[in-house]
Protein backbone atom coordinates (compact mmCIF):
# COMPACT_ATOMS: atom_id res chain seq x y z
CA UNK A 1 0.00 0.00 0.00
CA UNK A 2 2.77 2.41 0.96
CA UNK A 3 4.61 1.63 -2.29
CA UNK A 4 1.59 2.58 -4.40
CA UNK A 5 1.36 5.93 -2.61
CA UNK A 6 5.02 6.59 -3.38
CA UNK A 7 4.55 5.59 -7.03
CA UNK A 8 1.47 7.82 -7.28
CA UNK A 9 3.48 10.71 -5.86
CA UNK A 10 6.32 10.08 -8.32
CA UNK A 11 3.80 9.85 -11.16
CA UNK A 12 2.29 13.16 -10.05
CA UNK A 13 5.75 14.75 -9.93
CA UNK A 14 6.48 13.51 -13.43
CA UNK A 15 3.20 15.02 -14.63
CA UNK A 16 4.19 18.29 -12.95
CA UNK A 17 7.59 18.18 -14.68
CA UNK A 18 5.92 17.54 -18.04
CA UNK A 19 3.71 20.61 -17.52
CA UNK A 20 6.70 22.67 -16.38
CA UNK A 21 8.64 21.54 -19.43
CA UNK A 22 5.82 22.57 -21.74
CA UNK A 23 5.78 26.00 -20.11
CA UNK A 24 9.57 26.25 -20.38
CA UNK A 25 9.43 25.13 -24.01
CA UNK A 26 7.33 28.16 -24.89
CA UNK A 27 9.37 30.56 -22.75
CA UNK A 28 12.87 29.51 -23.88
CA UNK A 29 13.49 32.68 -25.95
CA UNK A 30 12.56 34.90 -23.00
CA UNK A 31 14.70 32.84 -20.62
CA UNK A 32 17.68 32.98 -22.99
CA UNK A 33 17.33 36.76 -23.32
CA UNK A 34 17.20 37.06 -19.53
CA UNK A 35 20.31 34.86 -19.32
CA UNK A 36 21.98 37.13 -21.89
CA UNK A 37 21.27 40.19 -19.76
CA UNK A 38 22.82 38.50 -16.73
CA UNK A 39 25.94 37.20 -18.44
CA UNK A 40 26.46 39.53 -21.39
CA UNK A 41 26.78 36.74 -23.97
CA UNK A 42 27.27 37.59 -27.63
CA UNK A 43 23.94 38.05 -29.43
CA UNK A 44 24.76 35.77 -32.37
CA UNK A 45 25.39 32.89 -30.00
CA UNK A 46 21.91 33.25 -28.50
CA UNK A 47 20.41 31.70 -31.62
CA UNK A 48 22.56 28.62 -31.05
CA UNK A 49 21.62 28.52 -27.37
CA UNK A 50 17.91 28.65 -28.28
CA UNK A 51 18.34 25.92 -30.88
CA UNK A 52 20.38 23.79 -28.50
CA UNK A 53 17.78 24.04 -25.75
CA UNK A 54 14.94 23.14 -28.12
CA UNK A 55 16.84 20.15 -29.53
CA UNK A 56 17.80 18.81 -26.10
CA UNK A 57 14.25 19.27 -24.81
CA UNK A 58 12.89 16.68 -27.24
CA UNK A 59 14.69 13.60 -25.83
CA UNK A 60 14.08 14.88 -22.31
CA UNK A 61 10.33 15.12 -22.98
CA UNK A 62 10.29 11.57 -24.36
CA UNK A 63 12.23 10.45 -21.29
CA UNK A 64 9.61 11.99 -18.99
CA UNK A 65 6.75 10.33 -20.88
CA UNK A 66 8.49 6.95 -20.64
CA UNK A 67 9.07 7.47 -16.91
CA UNK A 68 5.34 8.15 -16.56
CA UNK A 69 4.69 4.91 -18.46
CA UNK A 70 6.95 3.04 -16.02
CA UNK A 71 4.99 4.42 -13.07
CA UNK A 72 1.72 3.35 -14.67
CA UNK A 73 3.10 -0.16 -15.24
CA UNK A 74 4.03 -0.40 -11.57
CA UNK A 75 0.60 0.88 -10.51
CA UNK A 76 -1.05 -1.72 -12.78
CA UNK A 77 1.14 -4.34 -11.06
CA UNK A 78 2.92 -5.26 -14.31
CA UNK A 79 6.48 -4.12 -13.60
CA UNK A 80 8.07 -6.99 -15.55
CA UNK A 81 6.25 -6.58 -18.83
CA UNK A 82 7.49 -5.94 -22.33
CA UNK A 83 6.39 -2.32 -22.14
CA UNK A 84 8.62 -1.79 -19.09
CA UNK A 85 11.63 -3.15 -20.95
CA UNK A 86 10.75 -1.01 -23.97
CA UNK A 87 10.30 2.12 -21.83
CA UNK A 88 13.65 1.56 -20.11
CA UNK A 89 15.36 1.09 -23.47
CA UNK A 90 13.82 4.31 -24.78
CA UNK A 91 14.88 6.14 -21.61
CA UNK A 92 18.46 4.94 -22.07
CA UNK A 93 18.49 5.98 -25.74
CA UNK A 94 17.10 9.44 -24.88
CA UNK A 95 19.62 9.87 -22.07
CA UNK A 96 22.51 8.91 -24.35
CA UNK A 97 21.23 11.31 -27.02
CA UNK A 98 21.14 14.08 -24.41
CA UNK A 99 24.64 13.07 -23.29
CA UNK A 100 25.89 13.30 -26.87
CA UNK A 101 24.17 16.66 -27.43
CA UNK A 102 25.48 18.10 -24.16
CA UNK A 103 28.97 16.85 -25.02
CA UNK A 104 28.82 18.85 -28.24
CA UNK A 105 27.21 21.81 -26.47
CA UNK A 106 29.81 21.80 -23.70
CA UNK A 107 32.64 21.89 -26.21
CA UNK A 108 31.12 24.51 -28.51
CA UNK A 109 28.43 26.68 -26.92
CA UNK A 110 28.42 26.68 -23.14
CA UNK A 111 31.90 25.70 -21.91
CA UNK A 112 30.90 25.78 -18.27
CA UNK A 113 30.60 23.41 -15.35
CA UNK A 114 26.79 23.26 -15.37
CA UNK A 115 26.56 21.83 -18.88
CA UNK A 116 29.36 19.39 -18.01
CA UNK A 117 27.37 18.29 -14.96
CA UNK A 118 24.24 17.79 -17.08
CA UNK A 119 26.30 15.80 -19.55
CA UNK A 120 27.56 13.45 -16.82
CA UNK A 121 24.06 13.14 -15.32
CA UNK A 122 22.59 12.18 -18.70
CA UNK A 123 25.32 9.57 -19.13
CA UNK A 124 24.61 8.08 -15.69
CA UNK A 125 20.85 7.95 -16.37
CA UNK A 126 21.59 6.21 -19.67
CA UNK A 127 23.82 3.60 -18.05
CA UNK A 128 21.44 2.89 -15.16
CA UNK A 129 18.36 2.63 -17.39
CA UNK A 130 20.20 0.36 -19.83
CA UNK A 131 21.23 -1.98 -17.00
CA UNK A 132 17.70 -1.88 -15.57
CA UNK A 133 16.21 -2.73 -18.97
CA UNK A 134 18.47 -5.79 -19.20
CA UNK A 135 17.48 -6.81 -15.66
CA UNK A 136 13.78 -6.25 -16.39
CA UNK A 137 14.03 -8.32 -19.57
CA UNK A 138 15.68 -11.15 -17.65
CA UNK A 139 13.04 -10.90 -14.89
CA UNK A 140 10.31 -11.01 -17.53
CA UNK A 141 11.84 -14.16 -19.02
CA UNK A 142 12.02 -15.80 -15.58
CA UNK A 143 8.43 -14.77 -14.83
CA UNK A 144 7.21 -16.17 -18.15
CA UNK A 145 9.11 -19.41 -17.50
CA UNK A 146 7.57 -19.70 -14.02
CA UNK A 147 4.09 -19.03 -15.41
CA UNK A 148 4.52 -21.88 -17.90
CA UNK A 149 5.73 -24.40 -15.30
CA UNK A 150 2.76 -23.93 -12.98
| Mean pLDDT value across the chain | 87
Residue 41: pLDDT band with limits 50, 70, 90: low
pLDDT of residue 131: 94
In a 13 Å sphere around the CA of 111, the CA atoms on its Cβ side amount to 5
Residue 150 has pLDDT above 80, yes or no: no
81 touches 140 (CB < 8 A): yes
In sequence order, what are the residues at sequence separation of 6 or more whose Cβ sits closer than 8 angstroms to the Cβ of residue 106?
Answer: 112, 115, 116, 119
Tell me how far apart the alpha carbons of residues 73 and 95 are, in angstroms, rounded to a whole number. Answer: 20
Q: Minimum mean pLDDT among 54-68, 101-115, 121-135: which range?
A: 101-115
18 touches 68 (CB < 8 A): yes
Tell me how far apart the alpha carbons of residues 89 and 143 are, in angstroms, rounded to a whole number. Answer: 19
Amino acid sequence: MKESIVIKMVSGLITLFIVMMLIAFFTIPFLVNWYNELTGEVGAQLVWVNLFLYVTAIPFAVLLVMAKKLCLNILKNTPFSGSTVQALNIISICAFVDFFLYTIGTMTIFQNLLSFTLMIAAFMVGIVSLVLSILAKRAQEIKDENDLTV
